[in-house]
Amino acid sequence: MVYYRTYRPMRIEELDSPRLRERLYGAFASGTFPHALLFTGPKGLGKTSTARIIAKIVNCERNAFSNISTRTLPLSHDEIEPCNQCNQCLSIIKGANMDVLEIDGASNRGIDEIRALRESVHLSASASRIKVYIIDEVHMLTTEAFNALLKTIEEPPAHVMFIFCTTEPHKVPDTIRSRCVHISLQKATNEEIVSALKRIVEGEKLTVHSDALSRIAELASGGFRDAVKLLDEVAQARSDPSATIDVLLVEKVRSVTGIDDISSVFVDAAIRQDMKALRDGIDKAEQEGIDVRSVYEAVMRGMHQRLRDAVLRSDEQTIQTCTVLLDNLLREFAFVSTSPLPFLPLELALTAADTLPAEETQQLPSRSPHRTSAVTINTLVKKQHSMRVAALVNKPPKETPASQAPSGQQRDITTSAELMEHMMYVIKKHNHTLAGVLRGCEIASMTDEQVVIQTKFSFHKERLEQHEAIDQITSAIRSITGKDMKVVVQLITT
C-alpha cells in the first residue's frame, strides 16, 4: 500500500470525487462549519482521509479560518483549503496533533470509553483552535455508548468538532444522524478512478497503457483504495521496473491475488456442496493472508448474482440453495471480527446448505414463471427463515434430553446420530458458534469411555480441539448420558 499512503489526498481539490469536492466547499464557504459530520459510504472511498483534511481546514494557521473576521464571504476555494505547511497542518499529517484524536469505534465501543471521551471534550484544546474527534466505524458503538454520546453532540463546546465515519449508516441511531451533517460518499465511477490512477502514474513516472488503467478501474468496483492497491501490486510484479504495464500484466496479477476469482471458487463449491474444493480454497486464502472481510463481501456479491441468474432461469434448486447460503452468510458475518479463526464464519456459512431436512426443502413454494423475481425471492427468504428457526439446532430432539430430565436421570443413547442431536441441542443454549461447528461434523464411533468426532475441515478440528470446546462437549455428553467420556477429534482426509 505504498502508493495509497504516498498519494493520499491532502486538500479538497485533490479528492477524486467532484460531488464530494463541491459538497465540502459549499459546507465551509459561509465561514462557519458544522460541529458534527457523518461520512457514510462503502470502504475505500476516502472517508477517513477527508476527515483529516477537514481537521486541517479548521485548524490551519494560514487559511481563512485563522482570522475569519477579516474575510469577505462567501469564501473562495483557495481560502478554505489548508496550507499543509504550518505547524498545525504538519502535525495532523504526521498523526502527532494532540487535539486531533482518531478513535476506532470497533475497539472503543463501550460506554466507559465514551464516558472518558465526554470528560475530555470539555478540556480546552492544547495548541489548536478546534479539538477534532474522528470516530471510524462509529456504527460499532453499543446502544449505551451512543446514548452517552448524544448529550455531548446536542450541546457541544464551541471548541469541539465530531467527525463520524461508517460503512453501515443504518446502524447509527436516528438520534445521532439527525444531529449531524450527513455526507454520503458514492462509489466512484471508472472515469474518476482512472483520473486518480493517472496522478500516481505521473508521480511515479510509470508507463501504462490506457486500457490497463481502465481494467484496473473495472476490477476496483468503485473503490479508490482497491484500485490504487491493485496498481501498486501490478507495478511491483514487473521484472523490469521500466517495463510497460498492460492489460495482460493486470490480468496475470489479478489471477493470483484477485478477490473476485477466489470468491468465485467459494461460490461454485458452496452451490455444488463440494467440500474438498471449498476446504482447499479456504486453506489457500488463509495461507496467502488475504483479507477475510473482502473475501466475505465478494462471496455475498457473487452469491447474490447467482440467485438473480437462477431466478431468470427458473432454476428452483439453485434458487433454494443460494437463498439458504445467503441467509447463512448474513447471519455469520456478524462473527467475522470476533472469531479466533478468521475464515471460520465464512466456512460455517458455506457448508450449511444441507441444514434443512430433505422433506422440508421439498416444501418450498414452487415458482410460477408469471410472478415477479422480487416477490419470488421475498417469499423464498421468508419460507427459508421460518424453516431454519425450526431446524435441528434450534429445536429440542424428538425425545426430551437428559438435561431437562429430573436430576439423576440420564437418557439411554443408542446411536451416534442420537447423541449428536442431543449434544447440539444442549450446546446451542450456551455456545451458538460451537453448535454451528458440530453441525458440519459427525460422530464416527462411541463407547462407554470415548466419543470420536470426525470433520472434513481443518478449521473445525482446530476449533473443536480447543480446551474450552472440549470441556463444553464433555459436559454436554455427561449431562446427556451420565458418563465421563474422552472426546477425540479426527480429520477426514479422503
Among the listed ranges 175-179, 227-231, 375-379, which one has the minimum average pLDDT value? 375-379
> Regarding predicted confidence, which is higher, 179 or 382?
179
pLDDT at 362 over 80: no
Place of cell 436430576: 407
CATH code, domain with 293:
1.20.272
Same domain, 84 and 48: yes
pLDDT for res 333: 84
User: What's the average model confidence in pLDDT over 193-206?
Assistant: 94
> Regarding predicted confidence, which is higher, 352 or 176?
176
Same domain, 171 and 235: no
> Regarding predicted confidence, which is higher, 259 or 426?
426
pLDDT at 274 over 80: yes
Name the pLDDT band for 474 (thresholds 50, 70, 90).
very high
Same domain, 20 and 159: yes
Among the listed ranges 17-21, 38-42, 433-437, which one has the minimum average pLDDT value? 433-437
pLDDT at 404 over 50: no
Among the listed ranges 301-315, 404-418, 426-440, which one has the minimum average pLDDT value? 404-418
Nearest by Cα to 303 from 379, 212, 231, 377? 377
CATH code, domain with 131:
3.40.50.300
Tell me if 392 is assigned to some domain.
Answer: no
Q: Cell triple for residue 46?
A: 476516502
User: What's the average model confidence in pLDDT over 334-347?
Assistant: 82
Instruction: Show which of 150, 168, 184 is a domain's final residue.
Output: 184
Name the pLDDT band for 403 (thresholds 50, 70, 90).
very low
Maximum alpha-carbon separation in the chain:
88
Please give the helix or strand (H or E) that residue 162 lies within, else none: strand 160-166
- What are the angstrom distances between the C-alpha of 269 and each of 224, 299, 347? 30, 11, 11
Tell me if 238 is assigned to some domain.
Answer: yes
Same domain, 8 and 123: yes
pLDDT for res 275: 81
In this structure, is the dihedral angle defined by the CA atoms of residues 232, 238, 242 and 244, taken in order, positive or negative? negative
Tell me if 85 is assigned to some domain.
Answer: yes
pLDDT for res 106: 78
Same domain, 105 and 176: yes
Same domain, 39 and 103: yes
Same domain, 474 and 446: yes
Name the pLDDT band for 398 (thresholds 50, 70, 90).
low
CA distance 105 to 50: 17
Q: Cell triple for residue 241?
A: 521496473
CATH code, domain with 199:
1.10.8.60
Tell me if 172 is assigned to some domain.
Answer: yes
Per the structure, the complete domain to which residue 480 belongs is given by 402-491
Among the listed ranges 75-84, 348-357, 391-400, which one has the minimum average pLDDT value? 391-400
The residues that bridge with 245 in the sheet, in sequence order, are: 208
Backbone angles phi, psi at 164, to 5 degrees: -100, 140
Quick: pLDDT tens for 44-79.
899 999 999 999 999 999 999 999 999 999 999 999
CA distance 83 to 89: 7
Tell me if 396 is assigned to some domain.
Answer: no
pLDDT at 166 over 50: yes
User: What's the average model confidence in pLDDT over 366-390?
Assistant: 41
Same domain, 212 and 160: no
Task: Report strand pairing: 450-455 vs 486-491.
Answer: parallel
> Regarding predicted confidence, which is higher, 490 or 435?
490
Percent of the chain with pLDDT over 70: 85
pLDDT at 21 over 90: yes
Among the listed ranges 41-55, 213-227, 374-388, which one has the minimum average pLDDT value? 374-388
Same domain, 71 and 123: yes
pLDDT for res 388: 44
CATH code, domain with 464:
3.30.300.180
Quick: pLDDT tens for 140-158.
899 999 998 998 898 889 9
pLDDT for res 320: 83
> Which amino acid, residue 325?
L
Same domain, 225 and 334: no
Tell me if 397 is assigned to some domain.
Answer: no
pLDDT for res 354: 45
Instruction: Show which of 236, 257, 278 is a domain's final residue.
Output: 257
User: What's the average model confidence in pLDDT over 219-246?
Assistant: 88
pLDDT at 165 over 70: yes
- Where does 381-466 show beta strands of DSSP type E? 442-446, 450-455
pLDDT for res 284: 79
Same domain, 359 and 426: no
Average pLDDT score, the chain: 83
Tell me if 395 is assigned to some domain.
Answer: no
CA distance 436 to 442: 12
Total count of domains within the chain: 4
Name the pLDDT band for 357 (thresholds 50, 70, 90).
very low
Same domain, 130 and 114: yes
pLDDT for res 337: 74
Look at the pTM and tell me if it is higher than 0.85: no
Instruction: Show which of 150, 169, 184 is a domain's final residue.
Output: 184
- Count the Cβ atoms, other than its own, within 10 Å of residue 158: 8
Tell me if 393 is assigned to some domain.
Answer: no
